[in-house]
Chain A
């Protein structure tokens, strides 16, 4: 299929107004953004219901809606947003009859109209768009997944949608078929489906083909129950909507999340901290940690069915070759952490990168079990050099440690404490170096949309006091010929650490600390 061939069903929702605002909230009354596919589906059902009376709805709209319910948008393109300030308004109770009764008797009512109110919390989400740009959300469904769907009916339904969210959230909706190129040109933040992101889950509808009950049927049952909840003998609560599921969506500002375990490095006799020179021994410390993990994993039942060659050693499954991080992202990062000393010098605040006294082992967020094992296994374990001599002992470091915060806290600006090793050597021109640097950020898990917007500075000298020239650092031997630069990066939004970029990122190189 060419990039110009129709490949996406696009349901678009334009929020009307020059200061576009959305009031829909998710669980716990927290603003929901982007609006979930389930919310959009409910709006489509309501719109279809208002457009076609019962018999026509059943024939025309219900089959199409049922088909759509079984599909999930692979991407949601939405304007940037900021949660507004929540505030409360007084909504009048609809009980003027109580006052009217007093008036009709010529008496003063016990309460005045102004007192018959209930407080309601309003928590808007403000959409950030340029003045001449419409605030539109696009839900993109791969066309192959909606094969046989009558798009013209979807369009009729979509154009009948008038609101999404609260009653004040007026919208204009539409549906169309787009090519890949056209979809790429849609402006906004791209939220891509990521089932691993349970913390960013949005509700999506389900169809009767895959589930016991479909969302459409459940909505109908609920509507009937709402209208007839007052029975002749009893009052029946309306059952909650249960036919849906949740799927994670990740914006490009969310780089692949990592979890971590932190350790202190102590002398073998545990009389004090064990210190390693950052410039010359980063690779050695990372290597010793990896070997310790490998030693403990050998013949350990936990790793019996797990790909230890890949996860621990960063090799291909058969253990014969190094594996590229882009191809095998589920593996440990061994990150020796230089201490960043902070002090005042004649009234000026100074931060100086020092020696290695700590260690971080990180992995993608879905590798929690492996990290838990490492925490248990490595605590109290020795680090040994190539000759087998013990060089340090590891102890668990609490997350509240001050130095850890320099590597883990959220920040806009970050700069390297160890140089980035570029993936490829393509020449010395700034354009080539920049291209490789941005490629390195993509390999590190940052979305291409985000990487395009990074502000990058790079040079051989460091951006921090205490770091040496990039050329002085001893990289892993197989990466010795990679170009190395110190880098300072500014993200459009604050991002959390740990951040390690470049070819040596699993072994302590390309490590960033917040500025």
Chain B
């Protein structure tokens, strides 16, 4: 057990490598030539820069650019339509989207014992904190008793750099990053990043035709006088009483190399610190290592977990790991050449994570209730008043008219960090 727990300690101490990168090749479930649908994005504010659709950056050769003629203006960018056979990179699933898919696995069987399960009861609904979009900084948990613990945990991070309290409640916030934008303003950079991109794809378009069930106007079912206007201006079109063609819309991409890349930033994990030794009598370094092992274990599980939701990205984009391809880990060193690892698989990851979680101590599942009265009082305040009180303490305490009591801080208290005390700079 001790060996399992300490096997990666060299990486989690000063002098360790910078990062680990896991690279795995994927393909559509219907084979390497299958068509798949990447994420689509809204147009840029200047539509001439990006009219919306797939995010594909194209890198034509200088010969291809020269053959295309001079650029019309400085804003011109090559597109896949203009250079269909030039090298390109297509964003299939973004960093944020991958994080939102991966984090909830820690609520599922096989993984839920690794992290505290905090459920927030809201009327008839029950929301797991792991599903809350802003993690420990999410507004939904602020108006609960756990919100008070979280507020103190963020404040501890700001004051002393002590990440232990936050790891006790919401450790995945330390893995995927969090910003307490509604409270203390504490920010924690992500230590884990996953993204899926495809290189050198070919883009397709598709067309479709909606055929109405019957000829409503022609057969006298609907009065002709209502058939006015075109497109959205026509009431019949809006309600599905007219044929509707949709031509040359996004038809997916095919070919290329789909790669999922996961980065675990070891430097970020090494920056995690526990309580100063004088606070709890324990050795400060010992606390730090327990914490780092725990967070690193969660990151390894996040990287190696195999779950339906991780690869079934959206309709038309169901991927799988490429058969016969072995995923590789790269150890990114500061000075030495990068090294390759091939034996860090899902089973080793879960074994390590369990040992680290046991050593750290994972709290039992808890359920807390959304405090309707506190929320109503808070939302009744105008924004200026809300902004005034935001950093004074947990909102639930303020709702009790108890701002500045246990857990509260005066606004003059300095945050933790690089900034020297006033008057000593």
Q: Which A residues form the contact surface with B (CB < 8 A)?
A: 14, 16-19, 45-54, 57-58, 61-62, 82-90, 92, 94-98, 100-101, 103-106, 119, 121, 123-124, 126, 128, 134, 156, 159-163, 167-168, 170, 172, 174, 176, 217, 220, 223-224, 226-228, 230-235, 409-413, 492-494
- A418 CA to B414 CA in the complex, in Å? 70
| Contact between chains at B41 and A88 (CB < 8 Å) | yes
Q: Is B365's beta carbon under 8 Å from chain A?
A: no
Q: Is B44's beta carbon under 8 Å from chain A?
A: yes
Q: Which one of B109-117, B164-172, B263-271, B310-318 is at the interface?
A: B263-271
| Contact between chains at B414 and A100 (CB < 8 Å) | no
| Contact between chains at B372 and A167 (CB < 8 Å) | no
* B182 partner residues in chain A, CB cutoff 8 A: 94
- What mask results when residues 74 to 104 of chain B are scored 1 for a CB within 8 Å of chain A, else 0? 0001010000000001000011100000000
* A52 partner residues in chain B, CB cutoff 8 A: 418
Q: Is B223's beta carbon under 8 Å from chain A?
A: no
Q: Which one of B240-248, B356-364, B382-390 is at the interface?
A: B382-390
| Contact between chains at B259 and A101 (CB < 8 Å) | no
| Contact between chains at A220 and B18 (CB < 8 Å) | no
Closest to A174 in B: B334
Pick from B50, B332, B387: contact of A230, CB under 8 Å? B387
Q: Is B124's beta carbon under 8 Å from chain A?
A: yes
Known: A53-B161, A58-B424, A94-B181. 11 other contacts (CB 8 A): A19-B89, A52-B418, A87-B44, A97-B378, A124-B57, A156-B14, A172-B19, A223-B418, A224-B414, A410-B70, A494-B70
Pick from A106, A223, A226, A413: contact of B123, CB under 8 Å? A106
| Contact between chains at B375 and A106 (CB < 8 Å) | no
Chain B: minimal CB distance from A95 (Å):
5
| Contact between chains at A86 and B50 (CB < 8 Å) | yes
Q: Is B177's beta carbon under 8 Å from chain A?
A: yes
| Contact between chains at B55 and A85 (CB < 8 Å) | yes
* A94 partner residues in chain B, CB cutoff 8 A: 133-134, 137-139, 181-182
Q: Is B105's beta carbon under 8 Å from chain A?
A: no
Given A85-B49, A126-B57, A232-B411, A223-B138 contact (CB < 8 Å): no
| Contact between chains at B267 and A172 (CB < 8 Å) | yes
| Contact between chains at B140 and A100 (CB < 8 Å) | yes
Q: Is B323's beta carbon under 8 Å from chain A?
A: no
Given A85-B56, A228-B412, A104-B370 contact (CB < 8 Å): yes
* A105 partner residues in chain B, CB cutoff 8 A: 123, 372
19 A-B pairs in the complex with CB atoms less than 8 angstroms apart: A14-B18, A19-B197, A45-B418, A46-B418, A49-B418, A52-B418, A53-B161, A85-B55, A86-B49, A88-B45, A100-B120, A100-B122, A100-B139, A126-B89, A162-B265, A168-B95, A220-B420, A223-B419, A409-B70
| Contact between chains at A16 and B332 (CB < 8 Å) | yes
| Contact between chains at A97 and B89 (CB < 8 Å) | no
Pick from B127, B384, B411: contact of A228, CB under 8 Å? B411
Closest to B56 in A: A85
Given A89-B41, A96-B139, A172-B267, A227-B158 contact (CB < 8 Å): yes
Q: Is B416's beta carbon under 8 Å from chain A?
A: yes
| Contact between chains at A106 and B124 (CB < 8 Å) | yes
* B265 partner residues in chain A, CB cutoff 8 A: 16, 162-163, 170
* A161 partner residues in chain B, CB cutoff 8 A: 267
| Contact between chains at A168 and B193 (CB < 8 Å) | yes
| Contact between chains at B415 and A223 (CB < 8 Å) | yes
Closest to B262 in A: A17
Q: Would you call the interface of chain A mostly helix, strand, loop, or mixed?
A: mixed
| Contact between chains at B189 and A54 (CB < 8 Å) | no
- A501 CA to B346 CA in the complex, in Å? 63
* A224 partner residues in chain B, CB cutoff 8 A: 414-415, 419, 422
- A16 CA to B332 CA in the complex, in Å? 9
- What mask results when residues 136 to 174 of chain B are scored 1 for a CB within 8 Å of chain A, else 0? 011110110000000000000010110000000000000
Q: Is B213's beta carbon under 8 Å from chain A?
A: no
Pick from A16, A96, A97: contact of B379, CB under 8 Å? A97
Chain A: minimal CB distance from B76 (Å):
11
- A106 CA to B132 CA in the complex, in Å? 20
- A362 CA to B19 CA in the complex, in Å? 52
* A57 partner residues in chain B, CB cutoff 8 A: 417-418, 420
* A88 partner residues in chain B, CB cutoff 8 A: 41-45
* B414 partner residues in chain A, CB cutoff 8 A: 224, 227-228
- A176 CA to B335 CA in the complex, in Å? 10
- A85 CA to B424 CA in the complex, in Å? 47
Q: Is B421's beta carbon under 8 Å from chain A?
A: yes
| Residue in A53, A123, A493 with the greatest tally of chain B CB atoms within 10 Å | A53
| Contact between chains at A100 and B375 (CB < 8 Å) | yes
| Contact between chains at B267 and A160 (CB < 8 Å) | yes
| Residue in A105, A156, A492 with the greatest tally of chain B CB atoms within 10 Å | A105
Q: Is B261's beta carbon under 8 Å from chain A?
A: yes
- A382 CA to B209 CA in the complex, in Å? 73
| Contact between chains at A170 and B193 (CB < 8 Å) | yes
Q: Would you call the interface of chain B mostly helix, strand, loop, or mixed?
A: loop
* A46 partner residues in chain B, CB cutoff 8 A: 418
Q: Which B residues form the contact surface with A (CB < 8 A)?
A: 14, 18-19, 21, 23, 41-46, 49-50, 52, 55-57, 59, 62, 65-66, 70, 77, 79, 89, 94-96, 120, 122-125, 127, 132-134, 137-140, 142-143, 158, 160-161, 177, 181-182, 185, 189-191, 193, 195, 197, 199, 259, 261, 263, 265, 267-268, 270-271, 332, 334-335, 338, 370, 372, 375-376, 378-379, 384, 387-392, 410-422, 424-425
* B338 partner residues in chain A, CB cutoff 8 A: 134
Closest 6 CB pairs of A and B: A49-B418, A172-B18, A97-B139, A227-B415, A87-B41, A220-B419
* A123 partner residues in chain B, CB cutoff 8 A: 44
- A45 CA to B376 CA in the complex, in Å? 41
* A235 partner residues in chain B, CB cutoff 8 A: 384, 387-388
| Contact between chains at B390 and A18 (CB < 8 Å) | no
| Contact between chains at A92 and B42 (CB < 8 Å) | no
| Contact between chains at A51 and B62 (CB < 8 Å) | no
| Contact between chains at A97 and B181 (CB < 8 Å) | no
- A58 CA to B421 CA in the complex, in Å? 9
Chain A: minimal CB distance from B391 (Å):
5
- A113 CA to B355 CA in the complex, in Å? 37
* B161 partner residues in chain A, CB cutoff 8 A: 50, 53
| Contact between chains at A104 and B267 (CB < 8 Å) | no
Pick from B42, B190, B422: contact of A87, CB under 8 Å? B42
Chain B: minimal CB distance from A377 (Å):
33
| Contact between chains at B185 and A54 (CB < 8 Å) | no
- A156 CA to B421 CA in the complex, in Å? 23
Closest to B388 in A: A230
| Contact between chains at B419 and A54 (CB < 8 Å) | yes
Closest to A126 in B: B57
| Contact between chains at A230 and B139 (CB < 8 Å) | no
Pick from A50, A95, A162, A230: contact of B390, CB under 8 Å? A230
* B43 partner residues in chain A, CB cutoff 8 A: 87-88
* A50 partner residues in chain B, CB cutoff 8 A: 161, 271, 417-418
| Contact between chains at B268 and A162 (CB < 8 Å) | yes
* B392 partner residues in chain A, CB cutoff 8 A: 230
| Contact between chains at A85 and B50 (CB < 8 Å) | yes
| Contact between chains at A220 and B177 (CB < 8 Å) | no
- A494 CA to B71 CA in the complex, in Å? 10
Pick from B56, B70, B417: contact of A54, CB under 8 Å? B417
| Contact between chains at B44 and A121 (CB < 8 Å) | yes
| Contact between chains at B45 and A121 (CB < 8 Å) | yes
* A14 partner residues in chain B, CB cutoff 8 A: 18, 332
| Contact between chains at A90 and B42 (CB < 8 Å) | yes
Closest to B338 in A: A134
Closest to A228 in B: B411
* B197 partner residues in chain A, CB cutoff 8 A: 19
* A96 partner residues in chain B, CB cutoff 8 A: 132-134, 138-140
| Contact between chains at A85 and B77 (CB < 8 Å) | yes
| Contact between chains at A231 and B411 (CB < 8 Å) | yes
Chain B: minimal CB distance from A482 (Å):
31
- A96 CA to B147 CA in the complex, in Å? 14
- A105 CA to B389 CA in the complex, in Å? 25
Chain B: minimal CB distance from A99 (Å):
8
